[in-house]
Amino acid sequence: MQHETTEPPEHQLQPLDGRTLRRLNSFDRAVDALLDLIESGNSSPTAQQIAEKSGISVRTVFRLTEDIEQLHAAAIERQIQRTAYLYVQIPATGSLATRIRALVANRSTVFEAIAPARRVAERLAESSPQISQGLAFHHDILQMQVAELFDRELSRISRVRRADALSAIDVSAGWETWDHLRRIQGLSITSSGRVVRLLIEGVLAK
């Protein structure tokens, strides 16, 4: 018995035309330019600045930014790709002090790298479900790292307190705390790291 082959829809067989390819290329260049400008300290780049940075026309930028949420969301996604190598797996072995120090060192590296774009993303998240979902996913990844890294200590805490302890560590080692220490209190990276270590140690102290 022969099985019928299912042909893909005709539109899927058609190659992208030149205009579509040019638009995709222009969009990628605009996204990279937007992210570069944000990371250099410009939190609200203009169409003119994006055009100059990307090498495409202002008219094209205006056409692309008709959906400004999509452009910013794509920039946040691009940043995740750029900084993915910074997210290292920390061994859950070794002493508690060693693991805390390793976590804080990694978080400081990550948070310093993503800070400019993260602040822009938080500003836009309230009106952008796509960006809001991206931030929520990022938080879940970081919380999972904490749960795995300190599973040994958390398992010794009563079930009543365990969830609270995990939340407390998550907040202590989270972006919001780091941003507060660095931007609001004006602490150095080294001083901020010491504070975060003290917070985590306080949660897990016997």
Q: pLDDT in tens for each of the 206 residues of the chain?
A: 444 445 444 444 444 455 554 556 888 888 888 889 988 888 888 888 988 998 888 888 888 776 677 788 888 888 878 888 888 889 999 999 999 999 999 999 999 999 998 998 888 888 888 888 888 988 999 999 999 999 999 999 998 999 999 999 999 999 999 999 999 999 999 999 999 999 999 999 86
The answer to whether position 4 is within a domain reads no
- 63 and 105 in a common domain: no
∠ CA 79-174-143, rounded to 5°: 90
Query: Checking phi first, is residue 89 left (phi over 0); if not, alpha (psi -120 to 50) or beta?
Result: beta
Question: Does 47 fall in a domain?
Answer: yes
pLDDT of residue 22: 52
Q: Which two tokens stand for residue 134?
A: 């991206």
Domain count of the fold of the chain: 2
Residues 185, 116, single domain; the answer is: yes
Neighbours of 123 (CB within 10 A): 14
Q: What's residue 75's pLDDT?
A: 84
Whether residue 186 lies inside any domain: the answer is: yes
Of 48, 67, 82, the residue that ends a domain is 82
110 and 92 inside one domain: yes
Residues 53 and 100 in one domain: no
Other C-beta atoms closer than 10 Å to the C-beta of 129 total: 11
Would 46 be classed as within a structural domain? yes
Task: Note whether residue 1 is domain-resident.
Answer: no
Q: Are residues 179 and 94 in the same domain?
A: yes
Find where tokens 């008219």 sit.
Answer: 59
* Final residue of a structural domain among 82, 100, 135: 82
Report the 10 Å Cβ neighbour count for 64: 24
Q: Is the pTM of this model over 0.85?
A: no
95 with 185, same domain: the answer is: yes
In a domain, 158, yes or no: yes
Residue 63 in contact with residue 103, Cβ under 8 Å? no
Q: Answer yes or no: do 96 and 124 share one domain.
A: yes
Q: How far apart (Å, rounded) are the C-alpha atoms in residues 179 and 183? A: 6
Range of the domain at 105: 87-204
Question: What tokens appear for 91 in the block?
Answer: 């061994």
Residues 58 and 92 in one domain: no
**Whether 65 contacts 71, CB under 8 Å:** yes
- As given in the structure block, the two tokens for residue 86 are 């910074």
| Last residue of one domain, picked from the residues 28, 58, 82 | 82
Q: Are residues 114 and 198 in the same domain?
A: yes
Looking at the structure, tell me whether residues 108 and 192 fall in a common domain: yes
Looking at residue 206, its pLDDT comes to 64
Distance from C-alpha of 205 to C-alpha of 170, rounded to nearest angstrom: 16
Q: Same structural domain for residues 77 and 140?
A: no
pLDDT of residue 151: 96
User: Is residue 27 within 8 Å of 72, Cβ to Cβ?
Assistant: no
Identify whether residues 100 and 22 lie together within a single domain.
no
